Amino acid sequence: MNIVLKRLAAAAAAALALALLAAPAGARIAESNSDGFTVSVTAQAAATPEEVWTALAAPAAWWSPEHSWSGNAANLSLEAAAGGCFCERWDGNSVEHARVIFAVRAQQLRLSGAFGPLQGEALTGVLTVTLTAQAQGTQIAVEYVVGGHARFTLQSVAPLVEQVVSEQVQRLAALFPAEG
C-alpha cells in the first residue's frame, strides 16, 4: 500500500471520530457499502437562492484552502453551466476537480468528479447541490454519490468525505449568517 493510501486510511479513521463529534445536524452518510457511499449535507443560508447561487459559483470565497491542491482557495474557479469546469490553476499547474453536468440557475447544480485523493482511483462521483427557498432564506442540500473501484475500502473513506463535504457546505452557508 503506498503512502497516500496509508495516509488516507489513517485520516479516515480520525475523521470518523471527528465526524461523530463535530458534524452538523444536517450531515450524514446516507448509505455506504462495498461499492460506494452517499454523503448528504444540509445547511441554511440567510439569503435568497439567487444570492447563494452567485456565491456557489465563486468557490474562492468559501472553499477551504486545506482541501485544495495548491493550498490557496483563490486558485479555484467554477463555471456554473453544463460543461463548465470546477478547476484549480496555480504556477503553471492545474486540476479539474469536477465537470458541471446540470445547471438550473438558483435551483440546482450537478457536477461529476472524484474529489481529492478519490481522483486517483477508478471512481465516479456525482455531487448535486439543490437550493430551496424558505421563509428564512435558502436551504442548501448537497448529496455526493461515489462508486466504483478503489484500492482501499470505500466505506472506510466515507466519514472523511462526509467531513470535507460538510465543511464546504457550512463555509458556503456561513457567507450568509442569520441576523441576530
Residues with Cβ within 8 Å of residue 153, at least 6 apart in sequence: 34
For residue 8, give Cα distances in angstroms to 53, 81, 151, 162, 178.
Answer: 32, 32, 11, 14, 36
Residue 116: left if φ>0, alpha if ψ -120 to 50, beta else—which one? left
The answer as to whether 9 is a domain residue is yes
Range of the domain at 157: 3-173
The answer as to whether 180 is a domain residue is no
Q: CATH code at 155?
A: 3.30.530.20
How would you list the strands of the sheet with 36-45, edge to edge?
A: 27-33, 36-45, 137-149, 122-134, 108-112, 93-104, 85-90, 76-78
The answer as to whether 179 is a domain residue is no
What pLDDT shows up at residue 16?
33
What pLDDT shows up at residue 180?
66
What pLDDT shows up at residue 25?
54
Mean pLDDT by 10 residues, the chain (180 residues): 41 35 68 96 98 98 97 98 98 98 98 96 98 97 98 95 98 91
Q: What is d(CA 30, CA 16) in angstroms, rounded to the nearest whole number?
A: 15
Q: Positive or negative CA dihedral for 138, 87, 102, 32?
A: negative
Closest Cα to residue 105, out of 141, 126, 130, 125?
130
pTM of the complete model: 0.86
The answer as to whether 80 is a domain residue is yes
Report the domain count for the chain.
1
